[in-house]
């Protein structure tokens, strides 16, 4: 009789486990046109302005003299003022207004002179995303130069360089390389839909991840004054953790771990987990509440468990250490990594155009049903790295140039043989 009861209980527990597993592995349903985000990323206008300033300065640095027919002019300019605003006339655009100042070095015949130079510009930049594997790269790209005016500080020049400088400046701005704002998503946070919007002078990305049971967000109001702000729904992070746990299977001692509830409050988190033991006829489950600290070290987010409370359990359930099982199954690491992958610049990035961008998470806070990450960013210009192909092309050109000279030197060193 006891054996029959044990088998009956084990069968019910196996059935319960199957229902939970089916729920965890459900694919996301088809998105409606009016989908709501379960994560948002906001890049402040201050950071966008820094990126644009360095990008424009880099484009105007080290330019060649402009041929005007009767002479040349060499402009030397840097950004002195830049303002980034929304542009209503261009959907998904930000507008930039700026002033560059410096000097123009003119050379006309034997006469060389330098005069003050100012360049005033207005341009529209489109915010777009580019798919790259499981991630999305967010970029700004110039789509229109609205106006560009050159002011030279001397009206008594022998030649009028204004037209040549304006045409040169327009072409330089139009050909500005795409400016990266970061990379979103990854294996721990796949993105299903993405909506890019202007956000004051900054940029806002609304994401719908592929979580089948993702949560909704609470609006945090105004855009951040500086740096980056990321908001991820707790239920979205939980959904990925639950799915990964069921895909992983038994962790240790034939025990499966199922995260079933996740909440954040300030710098604390709470995770309810169910431990399932399914081997042989003594199957059982037990629930625990695990609490801990949301920690940040060197810009890396982690969840550190420090407290456990036993909750409900099935008949005959054993006692195990849920924190140890969470560590072996990397459940908490998966939750932290998912949140981190919504942060667009979570490491140092050096672009091909020579922008070095470093952004690190420095604050994490649970507010209601979501986790909010904030970080500062620094931007500087460095010499862009030359790839191997560029180095090889330069070497080949040098070899071709030196080859005739080497052959000539060799001929001089080789003595002529006596004909007799």
Mean pLDDT of 265-283: 91
Identify the three-state secondary structure at position 144.
strand
**Cα distances (Å, whole numbers) of residue 107 to 180, 291, 343, 359:** 38, 73, 50, 44
pLDDT at 417: 45
Burial of 108 (0-12, 13-18, 19+ CB in 10 A): middle
Does residue 397 have a pLDDT over 60? no
Q: How confident is the model at residue 121 (pLDDT cuts 50, 70, 90)?
A: very high
- Please measure the distance between the N-terminal and C-terminal CA atoms of the chain and give it in whole angstroms: 121
Q: How confident is the model at residue 346 (pLDDT cuts 50, 70, 90)?
A: low
Q: What is the mean pLDDT of the chain?
A: 84
Mean pLDDT of 213-237: 89
Does residue 391 have a pLDDT over 50? no
- Estimate the crossing angle of helix 234-248 against helix 331-340, to 10 degrees: 140
- Residue for token digits 């992983």? 248
Residue 41 vs residue 392, higher pLDDT? 41
pLDDT at 225: 86
Distance in angstroms (rounded) separating the CA atoms of residues 39 and 216: 8
221-257: burial string, b at 16+ Cβ within 10 Å, e else = eebbebbbbbbbbbbbbbbbbbbbbbeeeebeeebbb
Verdict on whether the full-model pTM lies above 0.75: yes
Strand 228-233 relative to strand 72-86: parallel, antiparallel, unpaired? unpaired
pLDDT at 345: 66
Partners of residue 285 on adjacent β-strands: 276
Distance in angstroms (rounded) separating the CA atoms of residues 1 and 12: 17
Does residue 304 have a pLDDT over 50? yes
Does residue 61 have a pLDDT over 90? no
Does residue 26 have a pLDDT over 60? yes
CA 271 vs. chain centroid, Å, equals 28
Residue 193 vs residue 187, higher pLDDT? 193
pLDDT at 157: 60
Q: How confident is the model at residue 383 (pLDDT cuts 50, 70, 90)?
A: low
- The answer to whether residues 28 and 297 touch, using CB atoms and an 8 Å cutoff, is no
pLDDT at 347: 57
Residue 307 vs residue 411, higher pLDDT? 307
């Amino acid at each position: 009789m006891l054996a029959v009861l044990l088998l009956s209980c084990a069968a019910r527990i196996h059935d319960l486990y199957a229902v939970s597993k089916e729920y965890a592995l459900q694919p996301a349903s088809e998105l409606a046109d009016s989908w709501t985000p379960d994560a948002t990323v906001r890049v402040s206008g201050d950071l966008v302005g820094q990126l644009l300033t360095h990008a424009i300065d880099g484009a105007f640095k080290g330019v060649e003299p402009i041929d005007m027919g009767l002479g040349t002019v060499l402009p030397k300019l840097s950004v002195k003022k830049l303002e980034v605003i929304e542009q209503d006339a261009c959907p998904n655009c930000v507008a930039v207004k700026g002033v560059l100042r410096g000097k123009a070095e003119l050379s006309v015949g034997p006469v060389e002179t330098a005069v003050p130079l100012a360049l005033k510009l207005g341009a529209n930049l489109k915010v777009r995303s580019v798919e790259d594997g499981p991630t999305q790269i967010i970029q700004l790209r110039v789509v229109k130069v609205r106006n560009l005016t050159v002011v030279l500080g001397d009206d008594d020049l022998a030649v009028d360089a204004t037209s040549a400088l304006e045409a040169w400046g327009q072409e330089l701005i139009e050909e500005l390389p795409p400016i990266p704002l970061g990379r979103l998503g990854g294996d721990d946070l796949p993105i299903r839909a993405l909506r890019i919007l202007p956000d004051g002078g900054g940029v806002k990305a609304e994401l719908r991840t592929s979580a089948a049971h993702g949560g909704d967000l609470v609006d945090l109001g105004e855009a951040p004054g500086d740096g980056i702000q990321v908001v991820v729904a707790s239920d979205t992070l939980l959904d990925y953790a639950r799915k990964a746990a069921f895909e992983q299977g038994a962790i240790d001692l034939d025990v499966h771990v199922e995260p079933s509830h996740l909440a954040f409050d300030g710098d604390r988190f709470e995770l309810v987990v169910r431990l399932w033991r399914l081997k042989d006829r003594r199957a059982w489950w037990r629930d625990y509440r695990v609490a801990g600290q949301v920690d940040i070290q060197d810009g890396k987010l982690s969840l550190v468990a420090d407290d456990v409370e036993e909750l409900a359990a099935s008949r005959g359930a054993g006692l195990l250490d849920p924190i140890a099982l969470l560590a072996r199954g990397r459940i908490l690491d998966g939750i932290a990594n998912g949140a981190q992958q919504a942060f667009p610049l979570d490491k140092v990035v050096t672009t091909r155009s020579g922008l070095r961008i470093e952004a690190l998470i420095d604050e994490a806070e649970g507010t209601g049903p979501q986790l909010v990450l904030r970080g500062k960013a620094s931007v500087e210009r460095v010499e862009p790295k030359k790839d191997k192909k560029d180095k090889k092309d330069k070497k080949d050109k040098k070899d071709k140039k030196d080859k005739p000279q080497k052959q000539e030197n060799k001929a001089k060193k080789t003595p002529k043989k006596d004909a007799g």
